[in-house]
Structure 1
């Protein structure tokens, strides 16, 4: 999140026996390999075969490139721009990684790897989120609320000589609505900003619906200990609300809370601590008057409900 990377970040761990590894391929994501134990020799192309590909690809036995399933949609056929010509392997660079060594390969870079006697490595990957997907996620909710976008084209005779008039009219109306929706978007508007902020904070865990389900609010006592949940990244920021007034925003996984601006110092402190006692929050409004306990209890209840914080035993 500190990098502001608008995509998915994750780790894989590879334990390889002697001679184990991967045949020549490229990945549709940027990957960094940190060698922990043993050695692994990497052969890799000096440049990407295709910048930011949508699919993984592997070498065929005859030296041609074979695209694997598309990460975005496995059922979408290969498009002309995705056709790549393999770089001859005699042009590859070679590097043997030993404990502490780090190798970074941009998405679309041909590479192969082979372990020595054994190898243990951590792989940090960056799955890029393209702008087309970001805009689609913003536009779809704007249009899906209309019955005409959910119903599909009207029934019409399938005549080869021309498009039926009612279908043509349907297409024209939907395209006009699409243009209008796009024209209402602004690079400085809240829709794209909110989606971008979600992209740089959301991770795989946030897709677990059971983990995101609201929790019942328990009675909040001043002596109750809480822990800030770190299973999702957290972002706290200030921005105007729908009426143009400044407000405090907290983004935690896929949960977005919009609160009064008075809560901003509390939320910023919350993002910096691990555990705290409920009554300590009364002192978190630095430079301003302390909030009433009832307001603090309501805020903690809201944060608990949305699983931003959790109760922990008070161990003496």
Structure 2
């Protein structure tokens, strides 16, 4: 990594101000903020050295396309892959949009820099039958009956409600018995309403009836063996054991259950926008990737919903 001493105090202040901005106004999660900070810090340190030493914010305004190419070549040289470099470039562009608005300079050289191409990995959902088998197998494989019921209840929420594993494990005792609709706080503090299937409510009730730990409103709903918050790794391990027994691919992970929820809804005729809301996605393009939508299905949705297509 380039020498961070090449970053001037004024530039550090600018970086700090931008991070405060995305925390406050964009609602970015802290992990996202930390990743942005690391990416932009490396960029600023490189530019400082590349320009011959710390030159302050005025030096940032002089960054041109050749500087951007040099930085990207440097990042590739230290082993950064196309996907990670694209993420870093996105963070740098976001920082420059904010900084150029405040300092009044033209950031087009940075903002026009092309992102490296990479192949996006499409999620691989599993079949509805396999999803049911995973839940049943996870319940039977645990050494204790209540732990098996717990694992089955968590996985049922992932598949039946499309929750992220962090969202399922974020539920508290006061959320039970589960209502017909849950208010879930997802990424970036965004709230959404999620319907709860009777099967999911029943799975949670079965787990609570067997759980040896006291039901407390402010305690985690899903407990570890000693009564603390359930570690997500234990859910992942339950899925691993189940998929190995069932002969499912390594892509059959807890998050794949969320993919499957969306895909099966879409295949049953669900609306993309409605599924986007249920998943808590900020953009429809993310939902399209999660649901493995094919061109024919997209055209069906287009023709059924677009005013011009309807004539």
Question: What is the TM-score of this pair, normalised by structure 2?
Answer: 0.28
Structure ranking higher on relative contact order (CA contacts 8 Å, 6+ apart) = 1
Structure with bigger gyration radius: 1
Higher helix share: 2
Question: What is the TM-score of this pair, normalised by structure 1?
Answer: 0.27
Higher strand share: 1
